[in-house]
Amino acid sequence: MWTQVRIAILSLLVLTVLTGVIYPLAVTGLAHLLFPGRAGGSLVERGGEVVGSELIGQSFSGARYFWGRPSATTPPYNGAASAGSNLGPTNPALRDRVVATVAALRAAHGEAGAIPVDLGTASGSGLDPHLSPAAALYQVARVAAARGLPKGAVRRLVDDHTEARQLGFLGEPRVNVLLLNLALDELGS
């Protein structure tokens, strides 16, 4: 019996070192080697200060900024509290939240046409940093008016920050809201 206990304890120690120390260090090292920007969390710095991450949706409010998708996660987003709403399509609470979001968008934008679906609905994780180009373009008039900028200049900024499909066929075109808003601040007004 002691032989089996000793083998079990030795197996536990060996597997703990392999899977709990060596493997994570190897994967982290490989990630930093192959994807140095992403492995560190894709932090964005301005003036020596970290202003956010390209990978986690940031909370922007006020007419001067592009707004991201609604989130079930309470701001500030710290990456540790990723959560979708988990509400099904027949849940009245989801309907009420979407109706309230659409009403707020209509109040801020007037009758600017159909509201892109990603402005009214949260992503699965609740932390999506991207919008569809249509959702960003929907907000151009509000942002331009609030900053006293020509709509064309703000629209060009959206176009310049629209990312193509990955490898040309994966996913959809998208706009990173944090990077767009930082570029907007650099533009002025």
How far apart are alpha carbons 57 and 81 in whole angstroms?
12
User: Among residues 150, 129, 133, which one has the least CA distance to residue 141?
Assistant: 150
Q: Looking at residue 155, what is its pLDDT? A: 96
How far apart are alpha carbons 5 and 10 in whole angstroms?
9
Q: Looking at residue 10, what is its pLDDT? A: 96
Tokens 């597997």, residue? 15
- Report the predicted TM-score, pTM, of the whole model to 2 decimal places: 0.75
The pair of three-digit structure tokens given for residue 143, joined into one six-digit string: 């942002």
Q: Looking at residue 44, what is its pLDDT? A: 75
Q: Give CA angle at 66 (90, 168), nearest 5°.
A: 80
Asked if 172 contacts 53 with a C-beta cutoff of 8 angstroms, the reply is: no
Q: Looking at residue 148, what is its pLDDT? A: 93
Please give the biggest Cα pair distance in the chain.
81
Q: Looking at residue 74, what is its pLDDT? A: 55
Q: What are the average pLDDT values for consecutive 10-residue runs of the chain, which has 189 residues?
A: 94 96 94 81 74 77 89 57 69 87 89 86 79 95 94 95 92 93 84
How far apart are alpha carbons 165 and 171 in whole angstroms?
5
Question: From start to end of 83-184, where are the E strands?
Answer: 130-131, 162-163, 174-176
Q: Looking at residue 116, what is its pLDDT? A: 93
Q: Which residues of 69-105 are buried (b: 16+ CB within 10 A; e: fewer)?
A: bbbbbeeebeeeebeebebeeeeeebeebbeebeeeb
Cβ count near 158 (within 10 Å) = 22
Query: What dihedral angle (degrees, nearest 10) is formed by the CA atoms of 123, 128, 133, 135?
Result: 50
Q: Looking at residue 163, what is its pLDDT? A: 94
